[in-house]
């Protein structure tokens, strides 16, 4: 495996990662092998209409910025947003399962919020 100037990871003469994904892959390899990467299910509230948006990310600050700058087409016309609350998970699978569950049932989201004593802000 070698690192090229354009930040690409090449293995057996095939580019596996390039650009930002190569930088993230390298960061994961350089980091301690026992580092746990957290996944977050976040709930945003529109300051325009008060409606919620539920999503999954590894970086809440970056993702909130993307929503507020209009980079997300589904939330573009409801900005600005405030972070209402979030849940953290150790695996991507658990986070996406929780997101799916919360999007399907408002009651599931409210029960989880109450169970952990989260007061929306």
Stretches in the chain below the pLDDT threshold 70 = 1-36, 120-121
Q: Rounded to 5 degrees, what angle do the CA atoms 107, 42, 63 make? A: 150
Question: How far apart are alpha carbons 42 and 27 in whole angstroms?
Answer: 24
Give the pairing of strands 8-11 and 14-18. antiparallel
Domain with CATH 3.40.1440.10 in the chain: 39-115
CA atoms within 13 A on the CB side of 114: 6
pLDDT at residue number 64: 94
- At residue 38, the pLDDT reads 86
Domain 39-115, CATH among 3.40.1440.10, 3.30.460.10, 3.30.1300.10, 3.40.109.40: 3.40.1440.10
For tokens 């998970």, the residue is 89
- What span, in angstroms and rounded, lies between the C-alpha atoms of 92 and 58? 9
What pLDDT sits at residue 4? 37
User: What's the confidence (pLDDT) of residue 43?
Assistant: 93
pTM assigned to the model: 0.68
């Amino acid at each position: 495996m070698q690192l090229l100037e354009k930040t690409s990871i090449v293995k057996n003469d095939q580019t596996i990662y390039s650009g930002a994904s190569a930088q993230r892959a390298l960061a994961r390899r350089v980091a301690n092998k026992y580092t746990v990467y957290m996944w977050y299910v976040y709930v945003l509230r529109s300051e325009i209409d008060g409606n919620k948006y539920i999503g999954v990310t590894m970086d809440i600050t970056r993702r909130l910025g993307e929503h507020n700058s209009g980079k997300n087409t589904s939330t573009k016309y409801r900005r600005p947003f405030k972070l209402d609350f979030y849940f953290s998970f150790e695996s991507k699978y658990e986070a996406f399962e929780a997101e799916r569950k919360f999007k399907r049932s408002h009651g599931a989201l409210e029960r989880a919020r109450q169970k952990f004593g989260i007061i929306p802000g």
